């Protein structure tokens, strides 16, 4: 491809090729400080290509291609090329990741204990992880949590955080401007702005942590905490995993091992500060 960018994110190396320079320039700025793939070998390739040859210039329209593709993927405006690259990387993980149990979850770590947060879109798992990452926790990832099949250790995947709509202002108030990508307005998911995680998240991207707590956060109600039964945790986690079924017994053993080892709580929260307070309380209880 005409333009190329390669980056190491936790245990996964990506190469992104593009017919246009602009999306990769934006990507390189966003991923400043990330290592290049150690041996130059990449696990996954993403390609940003014109949907049709003439669409490289005329109303440029970016098709997301790569090692793994999904039918029905819609092309995106070139102005949203950075988002297309991010979606392409996510898609490779969702379709191609076979070394780890992949949970659609955010995760943070403190004192060697990892907290896994999963829930439906809009539950706030990404915003909460981003916020905790600025308030004494290490951000391990905002979108995917990788569970090592053999050891049960959670591995970091600290790609740029994808902030949506209201979460953008929340994080702009906390984080220096140079860690943000451009604000992408009017994308299919509303306004999106990417944010580079804090320096310790990058420096420690090779360092896993034992899961200590699974949280199912839900934004919008008065603060409440309730326990979640093991069977429900199991079902919810299988539904948040893109590769549970294809991993077969290894997935079953890894997920049942996680459930036996780690308690789970569902929390409702009216605002992010309340949630951060609840989570810090849990952390103190785990440490006690």
Partner 1 sequence: MSGTDNDKDGASAFVPSRRTVLVFGVAAASTVVTVRPALAQTAGSILNCEIPVPGPQAGGSYVAQDGSLVAPGTQGAAPPLTRPLRGEEVKSLLRNGTSPAGVDPQSAQAYANYIRRLQAGMSGFTCYASLQMPR
Partner 2 sequence: MAGPVFHADPEAAISSIALDGLILLFHAPSGMTHIVAPPAPEILAALRLGPADAGELLARLRAWYDFEGDEAADAIEARLDELEAAGLVRRA
Give contact residues for partner 1 (rule: CB under 8 A): 64, 70-74, 76, 87, 90-91, 94-95, 104, 120-122, 143, 187-189, 235, 238-242, 244-246, 260
CB 151 to partner 2: min, Å: 19
The reply to whether 263 sits near partner 2 by the rule CB under 8 A is no
Question: Where in 194-233 is the site for partner 2 (CB under 8 A)?
Answer: 229-232
Provide the 3-class DSSP secondary structure of residue 285: helix
**Contact range with partner 2 by CB under 8 A, out of 91-99, 198-206, 248-256, 275-283:** 248-256
Residue 68's binding partner among partner 2, partner 1, none (Cβ under 5 to 8 angstroms by kind) is none
Nearer to partner 1, 121 or 165 (CB): 121
Q: What angle do CA 111, 263, 109 make, to 5 degrees?
A: 25
99 in Cβ contact with 151 (< 8 Å): no
Find which of partner 1, partner 2, none residue 229 binds, CB within 5 to 8 Å per kind. Answer: partner 2
48 CB contacts (<8 Å, ≥6 apart)? 16, 17, 18, 19, 20, 23, 62, 63, 64, 65, 81, 84, 85, 88
271 binds, among partner 2, partner 1, none (CB under 5 to 8 A by kind): none
CB of 39 or CB of 72, closer to partner 1: 72
In terms of Cα–Cα distance, which of 161, 114, 65, 73 is closest to 282?
114
User: Count of CB atoms within 10 A of residue 43's CB?
Assistant: 18
Site for partner 2 (CB under 8 A): which residue of 224, 256, 270, 277? 256
Interatomic CA distance for residues 107 and 116, integer angstroms: 5
Question: Binding residue for partner 2 (CB under 8 A) from 40, 71, 177, 248?
Answer: 248
Q: Could you tell me if 158 and 216 are in contact, meaning their C-beta atoms sit under 8 angstroms apart?
A: no
Task: Give the torsion sign (CA, 67, 72, 76, 80).
Answer: negative
Given the rule CB under 8 A, which residues bind partner 2?
Answer: 229-232, 234-235, 238, 244-245, 248-249, 252, 256, 259
């Amino acid at each position: 491809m005409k333009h190329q960018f390669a980056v190491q994110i936790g245990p996964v190396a990506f190469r992104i090729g593009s017919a246009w320079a602009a999306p990769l320039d934006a990507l390189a700025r966003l991923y400043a400080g990330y290592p290049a793939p150690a041996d130059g070998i990449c696990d996954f390739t993403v390609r940003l290509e014109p949907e049709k040859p003439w669409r490289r210039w005329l109303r440029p329209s970016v098709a997301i291609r790569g090692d793994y593709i999904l039918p029905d993927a819609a092309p995106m405006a070139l102005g949203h090329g950075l988002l297309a690259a991010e979606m392409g990387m996510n898609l490779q993980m969702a379709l191609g990741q076979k070394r780890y149990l992949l949970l659609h979850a955010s995760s943070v770590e403190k004192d060697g204990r990892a907290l896994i947060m999963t829930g439906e879109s809009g539950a706030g798992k990404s915003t909460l992880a981003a916020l905790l990452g600025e308030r004494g926790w290490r951000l391990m990832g905002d979108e995917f949590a990788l569970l090592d099949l053999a050891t049960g250790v959670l591995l970091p995947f600290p790609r740029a955080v994808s902030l949506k709509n209201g979460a953008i202002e929340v994080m702009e108030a906390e984080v220096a401007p140079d860690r943000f990508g451009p604000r992408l307005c009017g994308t299919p998911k509303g306004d999106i702005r990417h944010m580079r995680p804090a320096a310790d998240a990058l420096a420690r991207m090779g360092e896993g942590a034992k899961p200590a707590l699974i949280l199912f956060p839900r934004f919008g109600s008065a603060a409440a905490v309730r326990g979640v039964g093991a069977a429900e945790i199991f079902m919810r986690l299988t539904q948040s995993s893109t590769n549970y079924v294809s991993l077969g017994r290894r997935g079953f053993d890894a997920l049942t091992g996680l459930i036996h080892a780690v308690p789970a709580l569902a929390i409702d929260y009216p605002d992010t500060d309340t949630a951060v307070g609840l989570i810090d309380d849990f952390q103190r209880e785990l440490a006690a």
